[in-house]
């Protein structure tokens, strides 16, 4: 079964509204008519009211880098799924390693956020990945299995259909050290096998697993053209329109 690749830009805490608008104005013409892959931008919440209208009617979707699991409430500094939907956001990252590392997000919180996104019809991109010490200690497979199992608690096969997973080895994020296509494909197989165990072969065959971690225009083809790799989650190289467009057109 052919899975349509998703090429996603994680802008992290970069860009002002003016810079975001300038990006979209330059980027959309570069990918106009590109239908082979899905394209999504994940800007900071304060940029969403600029980026979403600017992308309206194009082939580029827009989502959040994070949502709270509660629909509303006394959670200072957080963004809710209802707020995201109200401004037209259709996707959200969940459990990015920077959220896990700096904001103490656990598998349990990731799971709660996943339930919230699915309940509200927002496409979740659930991020998993091992840190360097875990890889060096030969624990990659068990870390990935634990993260996937933890994220999917209580998720049924029917509900799971829209879920996208991003494999992002933490040692490859922002370091310029990309996983080799073999390392990435191996991790993707482990993740897919775990999804099969939890939710059945059908869901596992359909679920898209993106690779993230120092994806650049010059390594994108080798990674994304692999059968096991269904797109990319791109940080640094997604900040410039020509660089991200080159990755989209790998
Ligand atoms: P990077 O970030 O491409 O800058 O390594 C990827 C990510 O954190 O999603």
> How far, in Å, from the CA of 144 to the mean position of ligand 1?
18
* Residue 179 backbone phi and psi in degrees, to 5: -65, 145
165 band by pLDDT with thresholds 50, 70 and 90? very high
> How far, in Å, from the CA of 60 to the mean position of ligand 1?
19
Report the pLDDT value the prediction gives residue 91, as an integer from 0 to 100: 98
Closest CA to 25 of 5, 4, 6, 51: 51
177 band by pLDDT with thresholds 50, 70 and 90? confident
114 band by pLDDT with thresholds 50, 70 and 90? very high
176 band by pLDDT with thresholds 50, 70 and 90? confident
Task: Decide: 217 in ligand 1 pocket, CB within 6 A.
Answer: no
Report the pLDDT value the prediction gives residue 239, as an integer from 0 to 100: 98
User: Average pLDDT for residues 194-205, to the nearest whole number?
Assistant: 97
Residue 175 belongs to some domain of the structure: yes
Prediction pTM value: 0.97
11 band by pLDDT with thresholds 50, 70 and 90? very high
* Residue 69 pLDDT exceeds 70: yes
Average pLDDT, the chain: 97
Domain that holds residue 96: 6-248
Residue 1 belongs to some domain of the structure: no
User: Average pLDDT for residues 212-240, to the nearest whole number?
Assistant: 97
- Catalytic residue positions? 96, 168
* Residue 1 pLDDT exceeds 70: no
> How far, in Å, from the CA of 236 to the mean position of ligand 1?
6
* Residue 103 backbone phi and psi in degrees, to 5: -125, 20
Report the pLDDT value the prediction gives residue 2, as an integer from 0 to 100: 82
Residue 218 belongs to some domain of the structure: yes
Give the pair of three-digit tokens for residue 33.
Answer: 């008519």
Report the pLDDT value the prediction gives residue 92, as an integer from 0 to 100: 98
What's the domain count of the chain? 1
The C-alpha angle with vertex 61 and arms to 55 and 65, in degrees rounded to 5, equals 110
Task: Decide: 65 in ligand 1 pocket, CB within 6 A.
Answer: no
CATH of the domain at 130: 3.20.20.70
What is the C-alpha to C-alpha distance for residues 62 and 60, in angstroms, rounded to an integer? 7
pLDDT, tens only, 130-148: 999 999 999 999 999 999 9
Closest ligand 1 atom, residue 233 Cα: 9
Residue 185 belongs to some domain of the structure: yes
Residue 152 belongs to some domain of the structure: yes
50 band by pLDDT with thresholds 50, 70 and 90? very high
* Residue 159 pLDDT exceeds 80: yes
């Amino acid at each position: 079964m052919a899975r349509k690749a998703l090429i996603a830009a994680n802008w992290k805490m970069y860009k002002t509204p003016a810079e975001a608008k300038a990006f979209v104005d330059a980027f959309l013409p570069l990918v106009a008519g590109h239908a082979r892959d899905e394209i999504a931008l994940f800007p900071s919440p304060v940029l969403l009211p600029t980026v979403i209208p600017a992308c309206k009617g194009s082939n580029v979707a827009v989502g959040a880098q994070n949502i709270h699991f509660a629909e509303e409430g006394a959670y200072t500094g957080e963004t809710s799924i209802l707020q995201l939907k109200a401004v037209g956001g259709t996707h959200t990252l969940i459990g990015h390693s920077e959220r896990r590392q700096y904001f103490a997000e656990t598998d349990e919180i990731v799971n709660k956020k996943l339930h919230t996104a699915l309940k509200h019809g927002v496409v979740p991109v659930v991020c998993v990945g091992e840190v360097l010490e875990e890889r060096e200690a030969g624990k990659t497979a068990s870390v990935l299995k634990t993260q996937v199992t933890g994220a999917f608690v209580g998720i049924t096969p029917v509900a799971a259909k829209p879920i996208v997973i991003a494999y992002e080895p933490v040692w490859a994020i922002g370091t310029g050290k990309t996983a080799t296509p073999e390392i990435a494909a191996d991790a993707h197989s482990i993740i897919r096998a775990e999804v099969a165990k939890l939710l059945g072969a059908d869901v596992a065959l359909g679920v898209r697993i993106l690779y993230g971690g120092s994806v650049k225009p010059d390594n994108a083809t080798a990674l994304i053209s692999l059968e096991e790799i269904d797109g990319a989650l791109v940080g640094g190289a997604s900040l410039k329109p020509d660089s991200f467009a080159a990755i989209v057109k790998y």
